[in-house]
Amino acid sequence: MNKLSLIIASVVCLSACSEDGSSSPDTTLATSYTRVTTDQPDPTQYENTVHIVYAVPSGNEDKERDKSYQLQKSIIAADKWFYGISGKQLRLDLQDNGDVDITYWPMTETNAELHQYQWGMRDKIVDKLKQTDWYNPDKLYVIYFEGSHYLACGDKATNGGHVIELYLQDPEPNAGYVCSTDSFTANEHVNGFNEYLLIHKVIRVLGVNEEPTDTNTGNDVMSYPHSIVGELWAPEFVDFNNDDYFMHSDTNKVDILYSAFLLPNDGSELPPNWRDND
């Protein structure tokens, strides 16, 4: 299939497309939810999926964002919005009933203990994740952490890592960030800040770790308006001019069009150095 055909297929197929491109119902909210503390069997049987984790450090309040469907609504809203501007959606890990599969992770470490690692906090959480009996090196993990980072509201794996961490409480001691007021959507049809942030972080982990430059202007895309990588609030494009990381023709650059973690499945490419971080 040539590239034009792949682009057309991306525009006409929804996230729940099967491996052969046939369509199936879009991801929706189930009528009931039972909290689980492990990864459930995925009915799609995809090897590479985006798996959601709700992690609560020891001693922190469990706000039950999974049981209240706050996380499910957020993820579905982000996914639908991403499809609207790209023709692509996340290859989400699902439960048998079609709902988003979310693993509840009651951590044994306190938030204060994790703060001791400062910028190494992300890596410490990753180490703990890999020690669980449900970790799967073929999956990309998005951890909604019911606590705070030392200095940030979000962090992502670099150089082929498998984890994104979104911190839901305000950093300590850095008062410059206010994460607890970052908005979640009230329903799955509109976006708040956390929905845009999710897609932004996923795109970066898929291989857009460096700050690309616009080939026409030479400007850093991170400061270029309206693209997912460069603008967190309601960006208009995945990749402005499609010349840096999405639907471009430069074989020397990552093109997330072919990512194994997106549907419709136009390719099976893993993020650079993915296998080095199992």
Extents of the domains making up the chain: 3-207+254-277
List b or e across 45-67, with b for residues whose CB sees 16 or more CB atoms inside 10 angstroms. ebebbbbbbbbbbeebeeeebbb
pLDDT, tens only, 88-103:
999 999 998 889 999 9
15 pLDDT band, cuts 50/70/90, is very low
pLDDT of residue 210: 54
> What is the predicted pLDDT for the residue at 35?
93
C-beta of residue 148 within 8 angstroms of C-beta of residue 171: yes
Q: Is the pLDDT of residue 188 over 70?
A: yes
pLDDT given at position 213: 56
Kindly report the backbone phi and psi dihedral angles of residue 75, in degrees, each rounded to the nearest multiple of 5, phi listed first.
Answer: -65, -40
Residue 34 and residue 99: Cα distance in Å, rounded?
A: 11
Q: Categorize the per-residue pLDDT at 7 as very low, low, confident or very high, splitting at 50, 70 and 90.
A: very low
Q: What percent of the chain has a predicted confidence (pLDDT) above 70?
A: 81
Which range has the top average pLDDT, 34-38, 171-175, 178-182? Answer: 34-38
- What DSSP letter does each residue of the chain carry, written as one string? --HHHHHHHHHH--TT--TTS---PPP---S----BSSPPPPTT--SS-EEEEEEEEETS----TTTTTHHHHHHHHHHHHHHHHHS-EE-B-B-TTSSB-EEEEEEEEEHHHHHTTGGGHHHHHHHHHHTSTT--TTSEEEEEESS--SS-SEEE--SS--EEEEE-S--SS-TT---TTSPPPSSTTS--HHHHHHHHHHHHHTT--S--B-TTT--BGGGSTTBTTT-SSS-SBSSGGG-SSSS---TTS--GGGBTTEES----BPPTTGGGG-
The more confidently predicted of residues 159 and 8 is 159
Whether 16 has a pLDDT exceeding 50, the answer reads: no
Q: Is residue 8 over pLDDT 70? A: no
pLDDT, mean of residues 187-195: 91
Rounded distance, CA 203 to CA 95, Å? 24
* pLDDT tier, 44 (very low <50, low <70, confident <90, very high otherwise): confident
**pLDDT averaged over every residue in the chain:** 83
* Weakest-pLDDT range from 20-29, 65-74, 133-142, 233-242: 20-29
Q: Higher pLDDT residue, 167 or 228?
A: 167
pLDDT for residue 175: 63
| Mean pLDDT, residues 256-270 taken together | 93
Q: What is the reported pLDDT for 219? A: 54
Could you read off the pLDDT of 125-173 as tens digits, one per residue? 999 999 999 999 999 999 999 999 988 888 887 777 899 999 999 987 6
The pTM (predicted TM-score) of the whole model is 0.86
- Read off the pLDDT of each residue in 204-219 and give the average, rounded to a whole number: 66
